[in-house]
Amino acid sequence: DTGVSQNPRHKITKRGQNVTFRCDPISEHNRLYWYRQTLGQGPEFLTYFQNEAQLEKSRLLSDRFSAERPKGSFSTLEIQRTEQGDSAMYLCASSLVGQKNSPLHFGNGTRLTVT
Amino acid sequence: GQQLNQSPQSMFIQEGEDVSMNCTSSSIFNTWLWYKQDPGEGPVLLIALYKAGELTSNGRLTAQFGITRKDSFLNISASIPSDVGIYFCAGQPQGSARQLTFGSGTQLTVLP
């Protein structure tokens, strides 16, 4: 169990540019979540996948954001035309559905800074 | 937005002291989780609670799922310097089997 892995750890971009983050969940986990965390706040839910299907999206996920999990394993989160308000830590988590108790396990996040 | 009220926002304690923090919600939660987050890292799961009234320990940490299902507390006994960090409660609302709602965190500082 290598844990949830996220890349890159840090990303600095200029306003208007597109960025893409990657998440590799714990290998046998079939659910994958994306959260966003701003300074001084707890993580806020963005979206989640069960296998390759995206089953829920938060209202926080504007149409500039898109997430994919094409083969039900790793996932990508893309932000188009970044804005300064997109600056945050983007956290990925995974869990296993089917076990009675399967809490979310988080990666170390990608910190995005939009200048 | 956030639906959980977590308190206190911050705590300064002496090494060796016990600590208590809690979360309350206006709605019923099916699951309560407690996480710890260090700077620049993701939240790490400390304790998971699945039944009302459940009391669970993990070393020096003890957490309880309130009987009303609208609150939970976390106690840390005999604090040590490595307990420093931000502690988050998280709950899974009734009717939502998928997403967690997080509190705004308790920043714990342990003074030597």
pLDDT one-digit tens code per residue, B23-68: 999 888 989 999 999 988 999 999 999 999 999 999 999 999 999 9
User: 């983007």: which residue's tokens?
Assistant: A90
- Interior/surface letters B31-40, b for 16+ CB within 10 angstroms, e for the rest: bbbbbbbeee
| pLDDT at residue A28, as a whole number | 86
- Give the residue on B whose Cα is nearest the Cα of A31: B98
Contact indicator for A105, A94 with CB cutoff of 8 Å:
yes
pLDDT of residue B93: 77
Instruction: Give me the half-sphere count of Cα atoms (radius 13 Å) on the Cβ side of residue A56.
Output: 15
- Calculate how close chain A gets to B52, using CA atoms only, in Å: 15
A49-68: average pLDDT:
92
| A·B CB contacts under 8 A | 59
- Report the residue of B23, B29, B37 to disrupt the A interface, i.e. the one with the largest count of A CBs within 10 Å: B37
Give φ, ψ of A106 to 5 degrees: -100, 150
The DSSP symbol for A16 reads T
Say yes or no to pLDDT of A71 above 70: yes
Question: SS in 3 state form for chain B?
Answer: CCCEEEECCEEEEECCCCEEEEEEECCCEEEEEEEEECCCCCCEEEEEECCCCCEEEECCEEEEECCCCCEEEEEECCCCHHHCEEEEEEEEECCCCCCCEECCCEEEEEEC
The C-alpha atoms of residue B65 and residue B49 are separated, in whole angstroms, by 6
